[in-house]
């Protein structure tokens, strides 16, 4: 179950950083949406400070034929669709039409009723009979904020991307320079989370702010400028300068805003709850809880590289041991198709009869009997130069200038259908019920008057492909990867159950930091962290994400009982990952201690993970054995049963005592403790 929606008038002291929503935040959002809605006769009278903090003009912009949208949209015909309301949201569509050229702009707007959040998307369509003038500089978000704190500065909080560096997904906070002309940028590298995760928080000096989430799986860019007390943030495609041919359509990045007041972490936790409830796909008919998975590429001490070596002979002996350990998902990664080396045969999605002479049924059959899902790796956009499709249908492929292959043109329905048929066969005949997506596409050079349109059409087609897979095969498990964690955004978050952190594995300290940063913005259990370690310190470093086993159960000295215990422990705490997230230490690769806590406010239970780390600095400055643990979010007068997993210690303590701090002792130079708690009655 996810955390239940609760709206309160005032947050109590122990709730100040929780994901509980206040009436004031809901009302603020309703007032703002009313104020930006074109010609809305039912506009609400907002608080006096609303217009002083939030700009109330249309929150997007573009240029058309050299003119700014804010000056031309008022001259175009505007059609206002009916408001559709359900238990969770209000939806409305607005359409502007330029009668002279036939350009139609559609703005789909949604306000959540249980969260102070608004989502929208823009679509441009040429309904005329000739090419449009140039459409350029599309900013799906163009928002201005203000504050009244004089020389105090705005701060942007974010997280680095997943490009296989030690600092993958480590959080950062930058104060924005107030001098006019200074610009701070996020994103700007393909694909979406290559440089930064497209989730960031704009904090004003007045204890309020806006969390921005971007839905675009290609090259997005956010630009922030401060002029005095005004912050302007513009977010959209990195490049957009194109014409639309008659009948042609283009969609821009999706935007989600969440407004918060009070403690910054309160905003983060509201966003995490919102994303878990409304975006991350359900799994097994219930809100997502991550599965314990196995990826064969990590077995046989392959360190992620046991790929084309995987055959029925090597894979089948792994099935029973991992079922016994408690795995719930079993994936064969790249190289299961014909041809070696595996990267030179991408796009050949028929299983190798040399490697799997009986197909996948000998593997998927026993897994299905044990209710373990079976998955295969795909790079749906990639077509290597030796793949048969390159010769059979070259018109479906956008060729690489380097001659190394190309990209399947996802904007073509016939190209998508060809790929979907390969997936259909493997699901219907070979027992596949997990789809693992890798790759990031290639777009090539575009003419000067088509910049951005190829990317938009390709990515829109890719979304259609993924949606069709789920529609044709309900219940299929979707796992995301893009050269690691390079394609995590609002759109992929809403289509995949979890996403690989990066292609950098088995670094416990880096993994701990990555999960710290990711959990500030994303629900727990949506980041996949492979681990080779079975010991507490190494295995628990993956517990705040989706637990992927890189173990070697066929080794004679493999600690089977400990492995089974770690899986049991993870399954016990994973329902709590969807709760509020509380950092317990600063986050860096050089911190001698690192810790965080998850708390389910609806269940009033949670857990904390603490890591004492042996780092180069701790040799010079020895780390204390004692960590003061201050648990947050607990009801002050409630008695809790507290269990210390590593030391097998149990105590019963009141919430206010736990909030004032308890000692946790880790005597090992590199050790961990997991503290779980729940009401005593």
In this structure, are strands 220-227 and 230-237 parallel, antiparallel, or unpaired?
antiparallel
Domain boundaries, the chain: 7-278, 580-679
**Structure confidence at residue 436 (pLDDT):** 98
- If DSSP states are collapsed to H, E and C, what string results for 302-363? CCCCCCCCCCHHHHHHHHHHHHHHCCCEEEECCCCECCCCHHHHCCCCCECCCCCCCCCHHH
Q: How far apart (Å, rounded) are the C-alpha atoms in residues 238 and 599?
A: 38
Q: Cis before residue 341, ω within 30 degrees of 0?
A: yes
Secondary structure E strands in 38-182: 61-64, 67-68, 77-80, 84-85, 89-97, 103-112, 117-126, 135-146, 155-159, 171-175
Q: What was the pLDDT predicted at 203? A: 97
The dihedral through the CA atoms of 322, 324, 325, 330 has a sign that is positive
Q: How far apart are CA 307 and CA 342, in angstroms?
A: 8
> 526 with 272: CB under 8 angstroms?
no
In this predicted model, what pLDDT tens digit does every residue of 504-526 receive, in sequence order? Answer: 999 999 999 999 999 999 999 99
Q: What is the pLDDT of residues 36-62, one digit of tens each?
A: 998 655 555 556 567 789 988 999 999
SS3 letters across 519-565: HCCCCCCCEEEEECCCCHHHHHCCCCCEEEECCCCCCCCCCHHHHHH
Rg of the chain, C-alpha, whole Å: 26
> What tens digit of pLDDT does each residue of 526-576 get?
999 999 999 999 999 999 999 999 999 999 999 999 999 999 999 999 999
Whole-angstrom Cα distance, residue 419 to residue 429? 16
pLDDT at 617: 56
- Rounded (5°) CA angle 161-167-173: 75
Question: Which pLDDT belongs to residue 2?
Answer: 43
> pLDDT tens, 455-464?
999 999 999 9
- Cα separation values, 104 from 108, 242, 303, 643, Å: 13, 15, 51, 60
Report pLDDT digits (tens) over 58-115.
Answer: 999 999 999 999 999 999 989 999 999 999 999 999 999 999 999 999 999 999 999 9
Strands 527-531 and 477-480: unpaired
- Rounded to 5°, the CA angle 365-366-370 comes to 115
Taking 50 as the threshold, does the pLDDT of residue 271 lie above it? yes
Dihedral sign of CA atoms 586, 588, 592, 593 in order: positive
Instruction: Say what the pLDDT of residue 177 is.
Output: 87
The rounded distance, in Å, linking the Cα atoms of 371 and 64 is: 55
Q: Is 655 within 8 Å of 640 (Cβ atoms)?
A: yes
In the three-class reduction of DSSP (H, G, I as helix; E, B as strand; rest coil), residue 645 is classed as coil
pLDDT at 48: 56
Q: At what angle do helices 453-472 and 413-430 cross, to 10 degrees?
A: 30
* pLDDT given for residue 4 in this prediction: 52
Amino acid 150: pLDDT: 84
What's residue 679's pLDDT? 98
* Nearest 10 degrees: Cα torsion 334, 339, 343, 349: -60
User: The domain 580-679 belongs to what CATH superfamily?
Assistant: Golgi alpha-mannosidase II (2.60.40.1180)
More reliable by pLDDT, 43 or 432: 432
- What dihedral do alpha carbons 353, 382, 493, 551 form, nearest 10°? 40
Q: For position 3, what pLDDT does the model report?
A: 45
pLDDT for res 182: 85
Taking Cα atoms as reference points, which of 158, 131, 152 lies closest to residue 235? Answer: 158
**Taking the model in full, what pTM does it have?**
0.96
Tell which residue, 304, 289, 379, has the closest CA to residue 549: 304
Asked whether 239 and 451 are in contact (CB, 8 A), the reply is: yes
Question: In the CATH hierarchy, which fold is given to the domain comprising 7-278?
Answer: Beta-galactosidase; Chain A, domain 5 (2.70.98)
């Amino acid at each position: 179950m996810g955390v239940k929606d609760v709206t309160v008038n005032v947050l109590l002291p122990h709730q100040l950083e929780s994901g509980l929503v206040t009436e004031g935040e809901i009302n603020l959002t309703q007032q703002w949406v009313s104020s930006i809605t074109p010609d809305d006769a039912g506009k609400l009278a907002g608080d006096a400070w609303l217009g002083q903090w939030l700009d109330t003009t249309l929150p997007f912009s573009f240029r058309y034929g050299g003119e700014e949208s804010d000056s031309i949209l008022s001259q175009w015909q505007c059609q206002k669709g009916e408001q559709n309301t359900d238990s969770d949201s209000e939806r409305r569509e607005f359409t502007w039409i330029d009668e002279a050229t036939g350009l139609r702009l559609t703005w789909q707007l949604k306000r959540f009723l249980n969260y102070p959040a608004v989502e929208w998307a823009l679509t441009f369509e040429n309904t005329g009979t000739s090419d449009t003038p140039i459409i350029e500089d599309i900013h799906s978000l163009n928002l201005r904020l203000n504050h009244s704190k004089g020389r105090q500065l705005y701060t942007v909080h974010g997280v680095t991307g997943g490009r296989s560096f030690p600092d993958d997904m480590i959080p950062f906070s930058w104060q924005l320079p107030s001098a006019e002309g200074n610009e701070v940028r996020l994103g700007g590298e393909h694909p979406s989370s290559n440089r930064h995760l497209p989730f960031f928080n704009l904090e004003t000096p007045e204890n309020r702010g806006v969390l921005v989430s971007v839905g675009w799986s290609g090259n997005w860019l956010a630009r922030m400028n401060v002029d005095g007390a005004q912050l302007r943030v513009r977010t959209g495609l990195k490049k957009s300068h194109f014409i639309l041919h008659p009948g042609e359509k283009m969609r821009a990045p999706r935007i989600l805003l969440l407004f918060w007041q009070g403690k910054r972490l309160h905003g983060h936790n509201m966003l995490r709850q919102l994303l878990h409830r409304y975006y991350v796909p359900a799994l097994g008919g219930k809100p997502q809880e991550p599965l314990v998975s196995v990826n064969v590429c990590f077995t046989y001490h392959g360190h992620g590289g046991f790929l084309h070596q995987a055959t029925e002979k090597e894979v089948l002996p792994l099935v029973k041991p991992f079922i016994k350990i408690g795995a719930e998902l079993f994936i064969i990664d790249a190289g299961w198709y014909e041809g070696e080396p595996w990267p030179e045969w991408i796009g050949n999605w028929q299983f190798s009869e040399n490697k799997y002479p009986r197909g996948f049924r000998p593997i998927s059959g026993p897994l299905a009997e044990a209710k373990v899902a079976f998955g295969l790796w795909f790079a749906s956009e990639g077509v290597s130069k030796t793949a048969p499709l390159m010769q059979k249908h070259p018109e479906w492929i956008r060729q690489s200038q380097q001659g190394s292959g190309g990209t399947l043109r996802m904007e073509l329905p016939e190209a998508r259908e060809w790929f979907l048929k390969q997936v259909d066969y493997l699901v219907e005949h070979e027992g596949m019920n997990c789809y693992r997506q890798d790759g990031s596409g290639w777009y090539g050079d575009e003419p000067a008057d088509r910049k951005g349109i190829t990317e938009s059409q390709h990515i829109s087609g890719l979304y259609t492909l993924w949606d069709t897979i789920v529609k044709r095969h309900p219940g299929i498990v979707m796992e995301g990867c893009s050269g690691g964690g390079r394609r995590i955004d609002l759109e992929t978050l809403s289509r995949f159950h979890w996403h690989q952190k990066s292609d950098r594995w088995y670094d416990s300290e880096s993994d701990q930091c990555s999960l710290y940063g990711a959990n500030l913005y994303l629900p727990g259990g949506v980041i996949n962290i492979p681990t080779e370690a079975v010991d507490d310190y190494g295995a628990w470093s993956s517990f705040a994400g989706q637990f992927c086993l890189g173990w070697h159960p066929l080794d004679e000295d493999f600690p089977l009982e400990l492995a089974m215990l770690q899986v049991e422990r993870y399954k016990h705490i994973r329902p709590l990952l969807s709760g509020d997230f509380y950092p317990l230490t600063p986050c860096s690769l050089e911190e001698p201690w690192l810790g965080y806590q998850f708390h389910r406010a609806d269940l009033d239970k949670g857990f904390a993970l603490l890591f004492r780390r042996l780092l180069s600095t701790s040799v010079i400055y020895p780390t204390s054995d004692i960590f003061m643990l201050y648990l947050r979010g607990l009801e002050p007068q409630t008695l809790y049963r507290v269990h210390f997993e590593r030391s097998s210690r149990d105590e019963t303590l009141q919430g206010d005592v736990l909030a004032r701090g308890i000692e946790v002792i880790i005597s090992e130079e590199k050790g961990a403790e997991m503290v779980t708690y729940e009401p005593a009655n």
